[in-house]
Structure 1
Amino acid sequence: MKITDAKVVVTSPGRNFVTLKITTDEGVTGLGDATLNGRELAVVSYLTDHVAPLLIGSDPHRIEDTWQFLYRGAYWRRGPVTMAAIAAVDVALWDIKAKVAGLPLYQLLGGASRERVRTYGHANGRDLPELFDSIRARLAEGYKSIRVQTGIPGLKAVYGVHSAPDAANPTRLDQRVRPHVEDWDTDAYLRHIPGVFEAVRNEFGPELPLLHDAHHRLTPLQAARLGKELEPYKLFWLEDCTPAENQEGLRVVRRHTTTPLAIGEVFNTVFDYQTLVQEQLIDYVRSAVTHFGGVTPLRKLFDYAAQYQIRSAIHGPEDISPVGMAAAVHLDLAIHNFGIQEYSGHTDLTNEVFRHAYTFSDGHLHPGEAPGIGVELDEELAAAHPYAQGYLPVNRLQDGTVHDW
């Protein structure tokens, strides 16, 4: 069997997705997600101009060798653009291999380690009543674990809270696309958040697993303070409490709080995790299949983390396409040290473009039994929704200084 075509499809059924479709001489196809939100076309060029020509004529079954060839062979390693491109190839090849075997991907990864995959949903509100309504809505949808994000008094727009009509979409000015600007005040945030979780616990009781995302905005000392002040409310985790490129900074956080920590959605390789894992400074690794180079390296990361009793928590926002989500759920079902899966779901239109076998029920996902990853791309419908330039938001302090978003 040989690869005869590698085609990149860009579609925007509400938001942009980049998909690689690999075809073999036997007519078997495989899909991989290469979406890099806000920088999609950089990955499109990387795939189309540099990677696709290297795949033609190669054996699709040589997944490990192909991964190493694309990673080591370019000399310039790591980084989100490179690793998203490699991830698309890797997942597409796993899709092909599983289809040839006539099995769902998780069976090739050792079979199921559980019956279903636990998820958490997102709740947010500008104030407590709105937040409580959002939590009740997620519970009504079946979620058993809830991420809580809230507005901050005095701030107009905050990460994770739909406080402006177009906060999740690009702002168009003079025919140019500009990012939505959020504002930030760390002191106000640190004063407000413990009271929010106290109120949520009083309203919903002690048993509901609650998560919170600080989204890289705190120094290690500020993160340590927040983790300590949230201890009475028994969070499932505190996510991205400080920019973790400074891995040693997590030592400060760990010394001062027992609140579990989740890190890694912006990480691209195992090297980003070395100190965090070896010193057991975190409890959950958060990388996405799409941004970590695919199933091949992420499975290795989970095996590495398992030696230190660290669990998985694959990144699963709406900008991970159903192709990337399907690959994640297959991994979730197979690995032993699974923790939880983020799941925001997708729009009905996105689900029409990417018809998938995975299902959500009673707060859990299952990848289904279709051969491969279980996703089919409707290319005609995808073409009807072309790429629309857009950016993730940016964040500024009260004096206008750019801050971590």
Structure 2
Amino acid sequence: MEVTNYELFEVPPRWVFLKLETDEGLTGWGEPIVEGHAKTTIAAVEEILDNYLIGKDPLEIERHWQAMYRGRHFRGGPILMSSMAGIDQALWDIKGKHYGAPVYDLLGGRARDRILTYQWIGGDTPEEIREAAAAAVDDGYTALKMAANSQVRRIDSPGVVERIRERLAAVRDEVGDDIDIAVDFRGRITSGMAKWVASKLDPYDPMFYEEPVLPEHFDALPRIESHTKTPLASGERLYSRWEFQQTLANGLVDIVQPDPSHAGGITEVKKIAGAAEAVDVAVALHCALGPIAFASCLHIDATTSNAFVQSQNLDIHNPEQNDLLAYLIDPDIFGFESGYVDAPDEPGLGIEIDESFVREQADAQVDWQNPIWYHDDGSIAEW
């Protein structure tokens, strides 16, 4: 069997889908995208496929991963690793279909029956985020995630910290103590402010603090940890096992969050999860993308004993009213029960893409870009 052709589709809201074709009629789907850099990512995928993978046996996934990574003088980083990630997902999809097995069986089989998933809640005021939390719990979620803050100056006022506290306090007051609440700092807060904010939020017992600082400031994590009892999580902006190695070796976080559409795909993220298990660190795979990326996460979760919660951006409890799941022939494929989901058990990634809908949506002009935020003095703020 050989890889013979491919197509790339940029589709709303901010995704890229890859269709990989073989001479035996099997196709695989992947999701290679760096949000806000779709055209750059597409160009990188095309370079890899045109110059290496076309004509190769798609079943030799590890060989291809090593060639895509080690076969080039310049390697790593978000664009190249995300490009490889989508290709890797498509290869696993083909391999599972070839052997008539779900990807999780090819990864060694199940370590669990289902995985807890959380729902993102938002709102500009404590009242709005309280309402969002109530709605999510009504929909069956037992775990939530919220942003701690929007813009925060390098050293900000007690009033800003108090407003952050009020947001979490409102959610905890609404949902009670039986619901988990993850708090995402999104790297928007400096290390000095993160210590202060974390200590103020601790009384509300968050599940974890996500990205308390950006990866370039990970050396500050031990100082932040000394001011909080809450587990620290990070990793969506790390792209390989080598980047995670220093984080794990130095015990900087309690939870790693690699993204299978950014950190080299299923092949690489499974290795990162294994390295984390060896040092008693939990895994919460990052996924702010589409159904192909989400399916890839679930197959890893199914085989990873130290995975404990899965992020998602699909609002999967209500697929019949969800245009994001319209890319699937069966929008109910992931299922949802009491805040848990399961990996699809059909061959490959287990999802069937509605190709006609993908082609229709690919005609739209997407070009999604994140906003650029400014502080009151005109300086750039973290988004």
Task: Give 1 or 2: higher helix fraction.
Answer: 2
Which residue number corresponds to residue 292 of structure 1? 263
8 Å CA contact 2:133–2:171 kept in 1: the answer is no
Which residue number corresponds to residue 170 of structure 1? none
Q: Deviations over 1:60-116 (max 9, x none)?
A: 111011001001112111111101110111111111111111111111112111111
Question: Judging changes above 3 Å, is the alpha-carbon distance between structure 1 residues 276 and 354 closer, same or farther for their aligned structure 2 residues?
Answer: same
Question: Judging changes above 3 Å, is the alpha-carbon distance between structure 1 residues 355 and 292 closer, same or farther for their aligned structure 2 residues?
Answer: farther
CA RMSD of aligned residues (A): 1.8
Kindly indicate whether residue 137 of structure 2 is the aligned counterpart of residue 130 of structure 1.
no
Which residue number corresponds to residue 394 of structure 1? 372
Which residue number corresponds to residue 324 of structure 1? 293
Kindly indicate whether residue 246 of structure 2 is the aligned counterpart of residue 246 of structure 1.
no
* Deviation at residue 389 of structure 1 after TM alignment: 1.8
| SS at 1:335 equivalent | coil
Q: What amino acid is aligned across from residue 173 of structure 2 in structure 1?
A: N
Q: What amino acid is aligned across from residue 11 of structure 2 in structure 1?
A: T
| SS at 2:169 equivalent | helix
Cα distance between partner residues in 2 of 1:397 and 1:61: 51
| SS at 2:16 equivalent | strand
> Residue 79 of structure 1 is aligned with which of 60, 77, 86?
77
* Deviation at residue 196 of structure 1 after TM alignment: 3.1
Cα distance between partner residues in 1 of 2:50 and 2:294: 23
Which residue number corresponds to residue 2 of structure 1? 2
8 Å CA contact 1:326–1:375 kept in 2: the answer is yes
* Correspondences of 1:67-106 after superposition (within 5 Å): 67-106=65-104
Runs of 5+ in structure 2 lacking a partner?
A: 316-320
| SS at 1:375 equivalent | coil
Range with greater deviation from structure 2 (184-193 or 16-25): 184-193
Which residue number corresponds to residue 168 of structure 1? none
Which residue number corresponds to residue 175 of structure 2? 204
8 Å CA contact 1:250–1:276 kept in 2: the answer is no
Which residue number corresponds to residue 382 of structure 1? 358
Q: What amino acid is aligned across from residue 233 of structure 1 in structure 2?
A: Y
Cα distance between partner residues in 2 of 1:120 and 1:8: 30
Which residue number corresponds to residue 141 of structure 1? 139
TM-score by length of 1: 0.87
8 Å CA contact 1:119–1:364 kept in 2: the answer is yes
* Deviation at residue 399 of structure 1 after TM alignment: 0.8
Which residue number corresponds to residue 359 of structure 1? 335
Which residue number corresponds to residue 318 of structure 2? none
| SS at 1:42 equivalent | helix
Identity, % of aligned positions: 29
> Residue 349 of structure 1 is aligned with which of 308, 323, 332?
323
Runs of 5+ in structure 1 lacking a partner?
A: 153-157, 159-182
8 Å CA contact 2:314–2:324 kept in 1: the answer is no
Q: What amino acid is aligned across from residue 168 of structure 2 in structure 1?
A: F
Cα distance between partner residues in 2 of 1:60 and 1:200: 48
Question: Judging changes above 3 Å, is the alpha-carbon distance between structure 1 residues 191 and 348 closer, same or farther for their aligned structure 2 residues?
Answer: closer
Kindly indicate whether residue 186 of structure 2 is the aligned counterpart of residue 215 of structure 1.
yes
8 Å CA contact 2:129–2:167 kept in 1: the answer is no
Number of aligned residue pairs: 371
* Correspondences of 1:149-160 after superposition (within 5 Å): 149=147, 158=150
* Deviation at residue 184 of structure 1 after TM alignment: 4.3
Cα distance between partner residues in 2 of 1:88 and 1:201: 38
